[in-house]
Amino acid sequence: MKGEKVNIRFLHTGDAVGKLQLEVDNLEFFEAYAMTRYPDFYTLPLQKELIEIYAEQKENDQAYSFGIFENRTGLLIGTISLVQVMRGPLQSAVLGYALDKKHNNKGYTTEAVKLVVAYAFRKLALHRIEAGVMPGNDASIRVLEKAGFHKEGIAVQNVQINGKWRDHQVLAIINPRDL
């Protein structure tokens, strides 16, 4: 799926080197907002294995993980995923993303979120997408609001980050076809 600034596509094992570089280059930046990562996370074999797991999850309609690629250079500059895909009466998923700190404040993440939301609503026929953001991460909240998400409230101590349970601002978007 191609936007003006970025395109997103499913990752394949050939992207493992780029994904590893993205993770290493942004280790401290990403870990401030991510679940605890163990040392083997930063190895090529594990990155390849993770990409294979992403493909399996897609086949099983459990999660959809994409790379964010800059149109101008073709480089992998981030990742974006729909996880915890729920079918039946819920028809929902949780959105997560990470963008290389060198590419922040250029509209790339907002565009990637819009592309994934369109995919989720049109191709996957989801009803609702939810995202959680640590209070104080105003840039990420702005990204989601620009993509059409609305604030719903605070989930108290719902995600463990670096060994501490953290509150998250919950934002969501509903498929306009269902309104």
**Pairing outcome for strands 150-161 and 128-133:** unpaired
Q: Give domain 6-129's CATH number out of 3.40.50.1820, 3.40.630.30, 3.40.50.1380, 3.50.50.60.
A: 3.40.630.30
pLDDT at 132: 95
**What per-residue confidence (pLDDT) applies to 27?**
87
Region of 68 (left: φ > 0; alpha: ψ -120 to 50; beta: rest) is beta
The pLDDT score that the predictor gives to residue 100 is 95
Residue 176 neighbours by CB distance under 10 Å: 8
pLDDT for position 25: 93
pLDDT attached to residue 75: 96
- Domain edges within the chain: 6-129
Q: Are strands 6-10 and 150-161 parallel, antiparallel or unpaired?
A: unpaired
Q: What is the pTM of this model?
A: 0.93
Q: CA separation (Å) from 48 to 54, 98, 144?
A: 10, 18, 29
Q: What is the pLDDT of residue 163?
A: 81
Counting as low any pLDDT under 70, the low residues of the chain are none
Residue 15 burial (CB count, 10 A): 19
